[in-house]
Amino acid sequence: MAWLKAGNAQCSHPPTGVARPARLVLLGAPGVGKGTQAELLSERLGACHLSTGDVFRAAKSNCNGNQSAALKQALDYMRQGQLVPDTTVLAMVKERTACLHCRGGFLLDGFPRTVAQAEALSELLRSEGLALDGVVSYELPLEEVVARLSGRRTCSACKAVFHVSARPPVKEGICDHCGGPLYQREDDRPESIRVRMEAYENSTAPLAHYYRREGILFAIPAQGSPEEIFARTVVALQACLR
């Protein structure tokens, strides 16, 4: 709750007392399964999953609640279909600096998205006496990303998500949970996915090059089951978390 609400909200993550808190950034294009890996890593390491997307979603669903100036500004940009400026995102993260000191560590997801944000994050962490242990970049070829996302089907009633091959409904086109009709979201169509991926490559992928130069990038192939991908991640991180 401290991450979602900031201000005087108290951390709802139980103290883990781990001897070596893990402080990581997670990178990955839409469709690589980064959210699932974040859940598995959080459980394994005892680290808080700090997703800026979760903050925005919580703020939009509670539009009448108390919102900081930075968060209000960010939501205004999003409503207009514009990218949130680096300075605004950084201000929002600074309001949640206490979460970066979580006793179990953190998994920062959704920030940084640009090299400028990465440089600002490094400066913020230095000012707090902290440093990143590593940056995990989940990588998947474009055609596999298209296949994963274009196969998704969403229930028009309860919003449950299925996949035509990986997780099909019992009855084609019908939601298992409520019986509502399934449809393909506009941004899950192959042509839309390619546009999103191009935007990702242009804005976010350069982060991998930045962190590779810093010597803390761990590139993880995102093919296979979530368990297989997680096993690769754990092996890759062993050296930096000793």
Which residues are catalytically annotated? 34, 113, 152, 185, 196
CA 153 to chain centre: 21
User: Would the CA dihedral through 62, 68, 69, 70 be positive or negative?
Assistant: negative
Fill in the amino acid letter for 235: V
Beta strands 152-155 and 22-28, pairing class:
unpaired
Contacts of 25 (CB under 8 A, 6+ apart): 107, 108, 109, 112, 121, 132, 134, 135, 136, 211
Residues written for the chain: 242
What's the angle, vertex CA 232, arms to CA 229 and CA 238, rounded to 5? 140
What CA–CA distances, in Å, run from 219 to 26, 27, 171, 173? 10, 9, 38, 37
- Contact between residue 166 and residue 160 where contact means Cβ atoms under 8 Å apart: no
Minimal CA–CA distance to 73: which of 82, 65, 97? Answer: 82
